[in-house]
Structure 1
Amino acid sequence: MEEIFDVPLWEKYISGYTFYDCAILSEYEFGFVLVEERDDDDDADTGPKTRFIAMKVDNPIDSRLTGSQTNAFSKTTIASSEQPRVYIAVDTGSKVHSIHSERKGDEKAIDRVLDMSTYNGMLGTIRKVVRAVGEVYAIGSFRKIYRRIDMNQWIELGSEGKGVPMPTDLTSPTDFVFTLGFNDMSAFAKNDMYAVGGDGDVWRFDGKKWHNCPIPTNASLETVCCAENGIVYITELNGSVWAGRTDQWEKIADANLTAGFHPVDAFWFNNRLYLGSQQGIFTIDEKKKKVVPLKEVEEDAPNPTNGGRIDISPDGRFMLTVGPYGACLHDGTKWRRLFSAFDFVEG
């Protein structure tokens, strides 16, 4: 594959920004969220700008990138959808941006499409946007899950009678903001989905209703992965990994990752669990039963400058990762660096 960027293209789309999250549709189609690099003396009244980039790297260089930017988004995550082929980015405040072949730009925020209020008028927040069984979901606080229907169209699962129950003894909503889910969701099928978050808050959807899955930890749960081997993997805030299903769980790997290094993505690829963070990729050393940097078990693994956040293509054949300054792709055989900011820095 030829170089994705030349200098003018890099200067136009990437210079002055770092990569925050990624999504993949195929070996040649990627979506990214970028955040403006800021100095300490920059205007504190306005947050850093957010930029959205879609790449189709098998196109000619003058037509392989599309992009747009805004300063209204914060902590934005991105996911891809095959039907239609589109990247959907959602921030914590429920603002939505989409990129597909026919259009790109902001859509109506989820809280403008439906009522996101929770208790006592509190507005829910979005923790992450994910693809599950081909559909895009926004995962929220207070166990709220929103499914994307189409452009400017979302539905909260509770309005279909498929919402996750809340505690019957809920008296002070503020006490439950961080103790209840959700931070992540994954699925084997539409009638076998898992969502996790809060303090040991694990739930399974059977196609009709959600069931609580007792897990022997009260730690904050960050990621969940329904793996091809039939096992569900769940990570704690410190990176420790639990494995199991329904009400049978076992801690299979210990970790003590510091804040900022904790997993925010989890995927099963090439018979291995990959844990993505903003500070690099981790996996399990099965002999040590510990979570370790991926480099310890894969010599060609990306370093934290061009690897961290991860996503798997819908067909399961490719894994994309992005760090603040570059991206890499795994084709099931080896890693290949796609691009790096250091290729465009003199000296």
Structure 2
Amino acid sequence: MEKIFDESTWDTYISGYTFYDCAILSEHGFGFVLVEEKDGDDDDDSAPMTRFIAMKIDNPIESRFNGSETNGFSKTTIASSEHSRGYVAVDTGSKVYSIDSERMGDERAIDRVLDMSTYNGMVGVIHKVVRAAGQVYALGDFRRIYRRIGVDQWIELGAEGAGVPMPAEIPSSSDYDSSIGFNDMSAFAKNDMYAVGGDGDVWRFDGKKWHNCPIPTNASLETVCCAGNGIVYITELNGSVWAGRTDQWKKIADANLTAGFHPVDAFWFNNRLYLGSQQGIFAIDEKTKKVVPLKEVDEDAPNPTNGGRIDVSPDGRFLLTVGPYGACLHDGTKWRRLFSAFDFVEG
């Protein structure tokens, strides 16, 4: 099979950067966020550049890639958009970049499209952009959720009467914004969605309003997955996994992952829960009921250089993963390494 990159295209699109996040539309269509590598001894104190790459690997190499770079983006996440057949990336400051069949480039930041004011006059931040029930959402602090409705167009769910309720009283603690608000969202359908974050903050949307889902933990919640087996899986900051629905939850796997290794993505694929992090992929060992590196239960799993952040295609047939130096694809039967920086390192 032809290599996805040759030396010239690797130097043009990837060299000098590491991969930060990924999104997938199909077996042959992927989007990536890359961050510039900075030498720790470099006197340049400017922020790293961010690069966005979309690729259709079944195209001829001269039309295979579409990419651009920009500055001023920070901790940017990306999601595939079924509506436009492209990708939408949003950073913590609500800046937006999109790549689709009609255009590629910066859009108006969400806080320039609508009022993102939250508590005490503070401007909200975005924790993650996700695809749920076929639509793209940006998840913010203070339980704010923003749905993308088009180029330069977002709506905060509260403007539709479908906002997540806030507590009657908000403590004055300076870090209260991190105790409520959402880090992830997943859906069985547009009238059955779950959002999680903060300190044990779990909510379910029934298509009209949000309902609090009491869960017996006050731990910081990082991911949620509405799985194909009808169960909702939620992970804590340390990687421990809860399973259930509405107000019935049970811890099904313990973990003690250190900061930086915690899951930030969770997807159900091929009858297994995959947990993606910036430091590799994890899964549940059914024998020990522990969260372990995926290689302990799947010998062919990618290593952390070529696997970590994950996404599943809208049709559920393919799992894409990217590590800092490469990417792999699972087609439901086996893993395939797509590309690796080590293919382009002399010696």
User: TM-score scaled by structure 1?
Assistant: 0.99
Which runs of structure 2 are paired with 1:61-100 in the superposition (5 Å)? Answer: 61-100=61-100
Q: Distance in 2 between matches of 1:47 and 1:115?
A: 27
Q: Distance in 1 between matches of 2:171 and 2:308?
A: 39
Cross-structure match for 1:265: 265
Give the superposition deviation at 1:291. Answer: 0.2
Which runs of structure 2 are paired with 1:86-125 in the superposition (5 Å)? Answer: 86-125=86-125
Cross-structure match for 1:234: 234
Q: Count residues in correspondence.
A: 347
Query: 1:66-86 CA deviation, whole Å, 9 max, x = no partner?
Result: 100011100000000111111
Q: Say which SS state the counterpart of residue 115 (structure 2) adopts.
A: coil
Query: 1:136-192 CA deviation, whole Å, 9 max, x = no partner?
Result: 000001100000000000000001010000110114263421110210000001110
Cross-structure match for 2:199: 199
Q: Distance in 1 between matches of 2:41 and 2:175?
A: 36
Q: Distance in 2 between matches of 1:39 and 1:86?
A: 33
Cross-structure match for 1:143: 143
**Contact 1:195/1:202 (<8 A) preserved:** yes
**CA spacing shift, 1:160–1:303, aligned 2, 3 Å:** same
Q: Distance in 2 between matches of 1:208 and 1:176?
A: 27
Q: Say which SS state the counterpart of residue 128 (structure 1) adopts.
A: strand
Q: Say which SS state the counterpart of residue 233 (structure 1) adopts.
A: strand
Query: 1:177-219 CA deviation, whole Å, 9 max, x = no partner?
Result: 1110210000001110000000000000011110000000000
**Contact 1:120/1:173 (<8 A) preserved:** no
Amino acid at match of 1:278: Q
Bigger shift: 175-184 or 10-19? 175-184
Q: Distance in 1 between matches of 2:328 and 2:284?
A: 20
Give the superposition deviation at 1:41. Answer: 3.0
Give the superposition deviation at 1:278. Answer: 0.2
Which runs of structure 2 are paired with 1:290-309 in the superposition (5 Å)? Answer: 290-309=290-309
Cross-structure match for 1:181: 181
Consecutive unaligned residues in structure 2, runs of 5 or more: none
**Contact 2:119/2:142 (<8 A) preserved:** no
Consecutive unaligned residues in structure 1, runs of 5 or more: none
Amino acid at match of 2:102: E
Q: Distance in 2 between matches of 1:148 and 1:93?
A: 16
Q: Say which SS state the counterpart of residue 208 (structure 1) adopts.
A: coil
Q: Distance in 1 between matches of 2:115 and 2:208?
A: 22
Amino acid at match of 2:292: V
Query: 1:216-267 CA deviation, whole Å, 9 max, x = no partner?
Result: 0000000000000000000000000000000000000000000110000000
Name the Cα RMSD after superposition: 0.9
Q: Distance in 2 between matches of 1:73 and 1:228?
A: 34
Bigger shift: 40-49 or 159-168? 40-49
User: TM-score scaled by structure 2?
Assistant: 0.99
Bigger shift: 81-90 or 238-247? 81-90
Q: Distance in 2 between matches of 1:164 and 1:43?
A: 45
Q: Distance in 1 between matches of 2:105 and 2:248?
A: 44
Cross-structure match for 2:2: 2
Cross-structure match for 1:319: 319
Q: Say which SS state the counterpart of residue 79 (structure 2) adopts.
A: strand
Q: Say which SS state the counterpart of residue 177 (structure 1) adopts.
A: helix
Q: Distance in 2 between matches of 1:104 and 1:235?
A: 34
Query: 1:268-309 CA deviation, whole Å, 9 max, x = no partner?
Result: 000000000000000000110000000011111000000000
Query: 1:100-142 CA deviation, whole Å, 9 max, x = no partner?
Result: 1221000000000000000211010000000001100000011
Bigger shift: 95-104 or 149-158? 95-104
Q: Say which SS state the counterpart of residue 22 (structure 2) adopts.
A: strand
Cross-structure match for 2:248: 248
Cross-structure match for 1:17: 17
Give the superposition deviation at 1:342. Answer: 0.1
**Contact 2:79/2:88 (<8 A) preserved:** yes
Give the superposition deviation at 1:44. Answer: 5.4
Q: Distance in 2 between matches of 1:301 and 1:107?
A: 37
Amino acid at match of 1:191: N
Q: Say which SS state the counterpart of residue 158 (structure 1) adopts.
A: helix
Q: Distance in 1 between matches of 2:203 and 2:44?
A: 40
Give the superposition deviation at 1:339. Answer: 0.1
